Structure 1
């Protein structure tokens, strides 16, 4: 490290370090191959780039382009024995021992470098965290392994790292296990674990995919602080071109394992040379460009023949009791959803937005019958509260869900054709032959071929798997589809195609959508109306234009301002952080949160008042 930056082990403040000409990491002619049934094939071919101290290099490209394999090769974490570094060098600069070629180090030597000199934040935190160890133990052990701090000092640093990534009640979180945290919180734990050691090089593989825009903005600002204070170099792998524009000094565009373009962020966005780069940038959703969907006279007449709302939610409450104390009595309660009301019309898309933990997904689960609730949920004119088991099952046909992770939603042991046919089988619809014909038609409708029905989920890309999930949701011809972060894990080009597909299906089948997302740019491009949730309550609701063009609640304004603009020329100098942590929705029994009333500002634009 540069002079003064070694203070990371003692915790003393280090001087600001700017980008320098000398590379801290240099990759030359890297080729990574994977052995399959047809023999070896390259997944990264002749890749070369260098990373200067204090620089952020973004690697962008679609799934399968070789981005993550490049990162795993640098960390020597390639899946063995299937993958290997076939040729090339990965040189890490060491001022004491000279350049180190990471490509030839054994596992014992790499253990000393991982975490301390080079750290990595993975995309899926649940597979990166040990499910049987508390997050506190995992954080403290990683700090102790690379520093001379005592157990108490390591614990204090772990708490500081959790607070830095805005995890509320950080001290008590140390006792929790990964499964007790939301996906966004698990990712923040992974980021805290990497930041706690202040490494020379930080590789971040889609680190903000599962995070809300406000938390994303603060995490990106944390990464900038790390660079300013310690000269940390960052390799940022992302499909979010807004994040690339916000963070990158240099950009590498990859496709099919090869670099197709490299340059400064300003040049890549303003003057892209490769056709693929231009296609990638064209697919990026941008706030302010959402054209919405102007309804034709034919669509309006169809809606007129379908009176009433598809779904009506009135005064919905969802609480989870927590037990504590010696006798395990109920002493605290999570107010996940606290008295919200809304309706969704036929062919309408209502977007539900807000930060992680605000109650969006819990609301979706209540509508789908997956969690107990209080209040009224009316689907197709029938109140679920007054129905028996068989009647509820019939109504549930009208509500289907598309989940965030398509791979986790599909049974890996079943063929995809059987997975799409399963809802028809459960509800006793059609004969076996007819079900096969219906599934084939659904595959064709979502852009897949009937020949692919015999394949398994792992044989498809992420975008194709999400199309399979959409086909499965369509199988019962529902009136309402709940899309819970259904495109957040997809590349921008795939995301654009899936969103176009959802719009086409809505026009064709008259489906209503409850679209849950933390990506405000996507919401602005697909929604008719928007409801903003905060701590289990709706704080603003209106048409897309009302909410985005004239946001009235401070929280809504903050969400919109936090969206990174895919233009380096409009990069924010700093992201304004909150002065305090996100409040917790957990309260003592009998201590209910304050009830917010929604005031109509005109034309159905509702804003919460205390």
Structure 2
């Protein structure tokens, strides 16, 4: 780590003295005796009350830059040259004992995944009070009062009750609000938000971004927003720094960079962003000829019982899926959209036979509830899944070639040589090379790992592939390549997809038909053009309104804000929710009647 004072360089832009001045910052990792730069010669200024976005793909050095500013770099990573002055204090040069009191008081950070950032064994109140007591010499009663005030500031209802709750008792959006409250409790001069909305639903993302903007106007805090979502950059940032492979590619005012990107990498990054309305340019999907559906659900229900009375019987029931009906046709991409907890993934698990269900679900003409164990194994050849996190879906102890060939081995298909040949063929088909089959999952990028998962799903030549948030964790350019691959496979092999996502812009660019889910039920269903071109249900309209638009000229547009708290799918036993009736408003466009 660098020690010693550094002279403050002149500001890069603007006449006012910047709050944060970063000059020629180089961060390097020492690995097996070799020093390799992760961030090279990075320079930028940040003024009070300003939002600077640092954008780029995974591995571009965005998060390493934020950890360097916070003094949280791993032991084998250090700032090897340059400086970052916050109000005249060179942050990387400070020893840990001097940096510790500045964290939270002068500079604070919001991380991407709030569940891993909060301690699961302590209440929200204990964690908030701890953060306040670390910087102020006050009583615990006063710290509790400040914690309640911080929660109220981020618009969390019933803040006194939330203090007694644990992180797992809050939704993802609520947990992220707690992290924002904790970060802003001491009103720091600088807030670093590292992918604060990537793991959130589009409506919750909208609420968090609006909240950050409101709090910034109230407190004057400067924000460094780290993201790969150019729509978020356009809506929130004043200036942007685009990074690639640890180096700054381009920087400037958001309006200028979006309107006139100077570098080809920036142009490619902007071109890869899925945009609402772009799907309509592909033309209306051709309805498949009348055939037996690949999958069909009729009044499907999935319930989970909770709680226990003194007799040990359940007291409440989670109505995860409540009377859902739709079919998926051969060669069709059918979308399921909605917020977390609406039942999308539960439907996927029910289709794959992974959870018990009521009602009628059939795959390839066979009703799942009537199948024997052998029959369920056979149906797995017709239906496969691609999960959200490819690293978690692949066994780290198996080579990727073994992982792709494993379904063939389980079902006793072919000899060892034939299975190897089939895996090599699939690697070639998804844009990888057969010589990569001997490598392990950690040796690939996120996009390559997802391609491997697609190859594994194709091994048994299924009729239906379920993509459960399979591109939501990927950078926009990698995401575009995976989506293009799915389209190619559909056209060449006639495979059908159930495409599950909360990203409406992505869904519009790939699906033929879709259903919008809310609290376990479908509220609107139709073709892509019907739902996106003429949304009728208020919830569908709110989902579409919340999508970040990658156009800074539309920054600050008014949004539909939800009224009241989000209802819960958990109800007392014997008190099921009312079944929504779908009515056809024309040409198969179904909309739930408003109560």
Same fold (TM over 0.5): yes
* 1:119 match: 108
* 1:194 match: 183
Are the equivalent residues in 2 in contact too, given 1:443–1:471 (CA < 8 A)?
yes
**Residue range with higher mean Cα deviation, 571-580 or 501-510:** 571-580
Deviations 1:553-576 (A, max 9, x none): 111111111112111111134444
* 2:11 match: none
Deviations 1:447-473 (A, max 9, x none): 111111111211111111111111111
Deviations 1:259-310 (A, max 9, x none): 11110000000011111111111111111111475699xx98xx54x82111
Determine which of 124, 131, 138 is the counterpart of 2:127. Answer: 138
Deviation at 1:191, TM superposition (A): 3.8
**Residue range with higher mean Cα deviation, 547-556 or 352-361:** 352-361
* 1:474 match: 458
**Residue range with higher mean Cα deviation, 118-127 or 222-231:** 118-127
Question: How many Å separate the matches in 1 of 2:46 and 2:197?
Answer: 21
| Secondary structure of the structure 2 residue equivalent to 1:400 | strand
| Secondary structure of the structure 1 residue equivalent to 2:228 | coil
Per the alignment, do residues 163 and 421 of structure 1 end up closer, same or farther by CA in structure 2, a change over 3 Å counting?
farther
Are the equivalent residues in 2 in contact too, given 1:25–1:92 (CA < 8 A)?
yes
| Secondary structure of the structure 2 residue equivalent to 1:146 | coil
| Secondary structure of the structure 2 residue equivalent to 1:339 | strand
1:372 aligned onto 2:372: no
Determine which of 64, 69, 87 is the counterpart of 1:69. Answer: 64
* 1:43 match: 38
* 1:316 match: 300
Deviation at 1:131, TM superposition (A): 4.1
* 1:16 match: none
**Residue range with higher mean Cα deviation, 103-112 or 443-452:** 103-112
Deviation at 1:532, TM superposition (A): 0.7
1:145-544 mapped onto 2 (5 Å cutoff): 145-147=134-136, 150-151=139-140, 154-155=143-144, 158=147, 178=167, 186-291=175-280, 304=289, 307-323=291-307, 329-544=313-528
Deviations 1:412-435 (A, max 9, x none): 222211222222222222222111
| Secondary structure of the structure 2 residue equivalent to 1:47 | strand
Determine which of 540, 543, 555 is the counterpart of 1:556. Answer: 540
Per the alignment, do residues 317 and 166 of structure 1 end up closer, same or farther by CA in structure 2, a change over 3 Å counting?
farther
Deviation at 1:209, TM superposition (A): 0.9
Determine which of 70, 89, 92 is the counterpart of 2:86. Answer: 92
**Residue range with higher mean Cα deviation, 319-328 or 415-424:** 319-328
Report the number of matched residues. 581
Deviation at 1:194, TM superposition (A): 2.7
**Residue range with higher mean Cα deviation, 491-500 or 125-134:** 125-134
1:52-67 mapped onto 2 (5 Å cutoff): 52-67=47-62
1:31 aligned onto 2:26: yes
Deviation at 1:397, TM superposition (A): 2.2
Are the equivalent residues in 1 in contact too, given 2:235–2:550 (CA < 8 A)?
yes
Deviations 1:375-432 (A, max 9, x none): 1110000000111111111112222111111112222222211222222222222222
Are the equivalent residues in 1 in contact too, given 2:191–2:222 (CA < 8 A)?
yes
Question: How many Å separate the matches in 2 of 1:277 and 1:389?
Answer: 52
Are the equivalent residues in 1 in contact too, given 2:545–2:560 (CA < 8 A)?
no
Are the equivalent residues in 2 in contact too, given 1:221–1:575 (CA < 8 A)?
no
Are the equivalent residues in 2 in contact too, given 1:30–1:89 (CA < 8 A)?
yes
Deviations 1:469-492 (A, max 9, x none): 111111121111111111111111
**Residue range with higher mean Cα deviation, 154-163 or 255-264:** 154-163
Are the equivalent residues in 2 in contact too, given 1:60–1:239 (CA < 8 A)?
yes
Per the alignment, do residues 33 and 177 of structure 1 end up closer, same or farther by CA in structure 2, a change over 3 Å counting?
same
Question: How many Å separate the matches in 2 of 1:54 and 1:341?
Answer: 50
Question: How many Å separate the matches in 2 of 1:148 and 1:502?
Answer: 58
Are the equivalent residues in 2 in contact too, given 1:311–1:379 (CA < 8 A)?
yes
Give the RMSD, CA atoms, in angstroms.
2.5
* 1:578 match: 562
Deviations 1:45-88 (A, max 9, x none): 000111111110001111111111111111111121x2111111
Unaligned runs of 5+ in 1: 1-18, 94-98
Question: How many Å separate the matches in 2 of 1:455 and 1:38?
Answer: 24
Are the equivalent residues in 1 in contact too, given 2:284–2:529 (CA < 8 A)?
no
Deviations 1:214-271 (A, max 9, x none): 1111111111111111111111111111111000100001111111111000000001
Per the alignment, do residues 135 and 75 of structure 1 end up closer, same or farther by CA in structure 2, a change over 3 Å counting?
same
Are the equivalent residues in 2 in contact too, given 1:164–1:192 (CA < 8 A)?
yes
Unaligned runs of 5+ in 2: 1-13
